[in-house]
Structure 1
Amino acid sequence: MKSAAFYILLGFSILNGFTSCTVLQWRSNDAEIQAYFAEKEIPTEISYFEIDSMDLKIRVQHIKQSKSDINIIFFHGSPSSLSAWNGYLNDTAFVKKARIHAVDRPGYGYSNFGDAMTSIDTQAKVMSNLLDHYDLENVIAIGSSYGGPLAARLAYENPRVKGVVMISPAIDPNNEKKIWQSKFTQWWITRWLCPTGYRVAGDEKTVHAQELALIANDWSAVTVPVLHIHGDIDDIVPYENIQYTKEVFPDIEIITTPNTGHEIAWGRPDLMKPLILKFMEKVFLE
């Protein structure tokens, strides 16, 4: 008969072994980000948006070379950090067409690392305040996985958002796939073994369906154009989420990327970038 310690170690090994958004557990500090973009010869700024009443500090990276008045803001999934979007922030096509911003969501990267904010509504309100603080106009909000419904909720909160791109979004409360490995982040006997980003992701995942249900009736008020991109063999966020977005958003475009899974935001930027750029043209030329 195997001991409890054996099962704990087995569970931890499995937890570290499973992929999806978890491949982006890492985070880069400010100096590493500056060095990376200096090597690419792309000037970048890093700032911290603070809400004293919440004891909250949100890290934001900015690429502001463009003379355009269009702003793109990226929201990552879980666990992850703003560095997940490096391939977009250093792309000359994006740098020329818009000012670009990437955010460490609460609990990740260097935004109160380890302190989960499980409410999508609260996160969206924080990001709405962030848009106002930096005076960002003509915003395209882009989110992957968990960041998808956050980007859409931001459009509900703030009229500065003129368009939303959701990549592999976990948005249907009735089609929220259970990831059994996340249970290790919730059991007291195994939680301490899990890396910090995994624990935050587990905290979010545990209540994600309930949080989506709380805001489900508001999607009809999001009248800006919404683009939903989803891989048809996504094994983390079911492809059937597209049926939900078709029903709840007034102005929705669905694009299926064939034979692709959940990691298309960072795994297939060759597919995502042209779609995002085309969407930008649609939003601001119509």
Structure 2
Amino acid sequence: MLSFKLLRSVILFLFLSASLSSCFSRYIISAKEVRRHYAEKKVKPKEIFIRNDTLSLSLASMGADTLPMLLLIHGAPGSLWGYMNLMDDEDLQKHFHIVSVDRVGYGKSRLKKRRYVTSIETQANALLPVFSLNKSDQKVIVLGRSYGAPIAAKLASMAPEQVKELIMVSPVIDPETERFFWFSKWGRMSFVQLFLPRAFNAATAEKYSHADELRKLLPVWEKIHVPTTVIQGGNDWIADPSNIDFAKKHIKSKRAQYIFLYNAGHMITFSHAAMIKEMLLKSRLFQDKITAIGVDLKGGEIGN
């Protein structure tokens, strides 16, 4: 009987480890996959490190550093390579210095003596040195996806004089709609974590502190006055679609717009990459008379 219970436990553990790894494998890109991806490409990203006594920040950039900077912030789990489709776009390369960054706790980015960093403020503060790479005479466009969205917002509030525009895609910003999944509790087990990717463990640590961190962020929303866009999918299984309603209620910027894509899922930067590209290139999102608009999947306005 003991051996049967042991065997059952081992099988259950292996199943859980495999399930947890596969659930978010699409969000984690290995170094081998990156090398294979760029092996035959003429234009390759430049890898950069920003280091000081406490911080080591890993970045990849495309385009001349004298062009306006487009800063990309990933979610959880994730990495800077999660934006390869935007980084590889030839038109964006011609118009932007595209900088994608590993948040601290992910990839090669570290804070001294910190395994994981669950604080939104600390995450944003670690990204401030990235602005020093902006060699253009224009402010930075900051785009954050999923868990990267509130970090992007905090960053914009910390350095409004350096931010031209804030774009939040599939944002997880409402502390009352934080979603937990069947595998969430298993991912907290130390023994299970030994067999999971580091990025997944970092994401789990963030998951269980995220609601509290978002509550700390509540006073920040009304301080954001840079042009802001929120893009949300109606079929998003990670970020509750009602996050866009939270944004409408709390963001006080008079230059804000809200785009709701009824049939879109969580990975809008892939499924609607052409739309995001057009938004970036045309730079026509904000007009003095616009306060807030909603756009459906076909691009029609549906009211405030």
State the secondary structure of the residue aligned to 1:180: coil
Q: Following the alignment from structure 1 to structure 2, what is the Cα–Cα distance between the partners of residues 135 and 152?
A: 22
1:125 aligns with 2:128: no
Alignment partner for residue 72 of structure 1, among 57, 67, 70?
Answer: 70
* Equivalent position of 2:302 in the other structure: none
State the secondary structure of the residue aligned to 1:218: helix
State the secondary structure of the residue aligned to 1:142: strand
2:257 aligned partner, one-letter code: E
Q: Deviations over 1:182-237 (max 9, x none)?
A: 32221123221222111111111111111111121111101001111111110111
Q: How many Å apart are 1:126 and its aligned residue?
A: 1.2
Alignment partner for residue 176 of structure 2, among 174, 177, 184?
Answer: 174
For the 8 Å contact 1:43–1:65, the answer to whether it is kept is: no
2:248 aligned partner, one-letter code: K
1:57–1:27 CA distance, 2 compared to 1 (3 A)? farther
Alignment partner for residue 25 of structure 1, among 25, 28, 36?
Answer: 28
* Equivalent position of 1:103 in the other structure: 101
2:185 aligned partner, one-letter code: K
Deviates further, 224-233 or 58-67: 58-67
Q: How many Å apart are 1:272 and its aligned residue?
A: 2.8
Instruction: Please list, as runs of the form range in 1=range in 2, the aligned pairs for 1:42-57 lying within 5 A after superposition.
Output: 42=43, 44-52=45-53, 54=54, 56-57=55-56
TM-score after normalising by structure 1: 0.87
Q: Following the alignment from structure 2 to structure 1, what is the Cα–Cα distance between the partners of residues 279 and 200?
A: 30
Deviates further, 89-98 or 132-141: 132-141
Q: Following the alignment from structure 1 to structure 2, what is the Cα–Cα distance between the partners of residues 96 and 40?
A: 16
Q: Deviations over 1:62-83 (max 9, x none)?
A: 2233754x21000111111111
* Equivalent position of 1:10 in the other structure: 15
State the secondary structure of the residue aligned to 2:240: coil
Q: Following the alignment from structure 1 to structure 2, what is the Cα–Cα distance between the partners of residues 221 and 275?
A: 24
State the secondary structure of the residue aligned to 1:238: coil
For the 8 Å contact 1:29–1:110, the answer to whether it is kept is: no
1:59 aligned partner, one-letter code: S
Instruction: Please list, as runs of the form range in 1=range in 2, the aligned pairs for 1:169-248 lying within 5 A after superposition.
Output: 169-248=171-250
RMSD: 2.7
Q: Deviations over 1:80-102 (max 9, x none)?
A: 11111111112122112221111
1:17–1:44 CA distance, 2 compared to 1 (3 A)? closer
State the secondary structure of the residue aligned to 1:205: helix
Q: Following the alignment from structure 2 to structure 1, what is the Cα–Cα distance between the partners of residues 174 and 98?
A: 28
- Structure label with greater radius of gyration: 2
Q: Following the alignment from structure 1 to structure 2, what is the Cα–Cα distance between the partners of residues 215 and 112?
A: 23
1:149–1:98 CA distance, 2 compared to 1 (3 A)? same
2:9 aligned partner, one-letter code: A
Q: Following the alignment from structure 1 to structure 2, what is the Cα–Cα distance between the partners of residues 91 and 248?
A: 33
* Equivalent position of 2:251 in the other structure: 249
Task: Report % sequence identity.
Answer: 28
1:88–1:284 CA distance, 2 compared to 1 (3 A)? farther
Deviates further, 246-255 or 9-18: 9-18
Structure ranking higher in helix proportion: 1
Deviates further, 245-254 or 260-269: 260-269
TM-score after normalising by structure 2: 0.82
Alignment partner for residue 82 of structure 2, among 81, 84, 88?
Answer: 84
* Equivalent position of 2:266 in the other structure: 262
State the secondary structure of the residue aligned to 2:226: coil
> How many equivalent pairs are there?
278
Q: How many Å apart are 1:30 and its aligned residue?
A: 12
1:277 aligns with 2:281: yes
Q: Following the alignment from structure 1 to structure 2, what is the Cα–Cα distance between the partners of residues 85 and 134?
A: 19
Q: Following the alignment from structure 2 to structure 1, what is the Cα–Cα distance between the partners of residues 60 and 224?
A: 26
1:124–1:238 CA distance, 2 compared to 1 (3 A)? same
Any stretches of 5+ residues in structure 2 without a counterpart? 290-304
1:194 aligned partner, one-letter code: L
